Amino acid sequence: MPLAARVVLATRNPHKLLEVSRILAEAGLGVHLVDLEGFPDVPEVAETGTTFEENALLKARAIALATGLPALADDSGLCVDVLGGMPGVLSARWCGHHGDDAANLHLVLDQIAELPDTYRSARFVCAAALALPDGRIELAEGVLEGSLARVPRGGNGFGYDPIFVPDGQVRTTAELSPAEKDAISHRGRAFRALIPAAARLLS
């Protein structure tokens, strides 16, 4: 596979581009990853699926067709046991509108505010998909188990990172260094699981 193989990540979130670029580089997948900022005419892809896998595939397929390039996409979110697995696929718009990380996070905290620590279990789930313009696809999943802190802590990461404490940790994922987070994160696990198939398809 050429070191400069160009792959589009289906996001306009610079934090996600940086995180996925780090994960792929650390795992040895030599691609030039770009996001959708370089494709202003590509419309947003509606996440109409009911699972992370469906949404990741929807985005990857749509972006591969729109750009004519291999496309990576992921759908990920926070699943809180006592909330029946929600916010789940609604994680990015749990507060009622898309992309307000602080409002989403504080709504979850408000919903479980009175619960003891034993009822604050949760997990981060990520589905990662690769789609080629010719229709070939690959899919992988990563999960990180943990629990929810009572107040946000840490300035790294994004989304629900400031309230998520991975099992075996006392720090939130927002208090971990980027390298520490990548090593255990749901997104890191999903994209690393995807890499063998990606290397084969992109060769």
How far is residue 59's CA from residue 139's CA, in Å, rounded to a whole number? 12
Strand partners, 78: 124
Cα separation of 2 and 199, whole Å?
10
With beta carbons less than 8 A apart as the criterion, state whether 125 and 116 touch: no
Q: Which residue among 35, 41, 74, 75 is the active-site one? A: 75
Token readout for 193 is 């699981």
Contact (Cβ atoms closer than 8 angstroms) between residue 190 and residue 127: yes
- Assign 3-class secondary structure to 89-152: HHHHHCCCCCCCHHHHHHHHHHHCCCCCHHHCEEEEEEEEEEECCCCCEEEEEEEEEEEECCCC
The number of residues in the chain equals: 203
User: Cα Rg for the chain, rounded, in angstroms?
Assistant: 17
Is 117 labeled as catalytic in the residue annotation?
Answer: no
* Residues carrying an active site annotation: 75
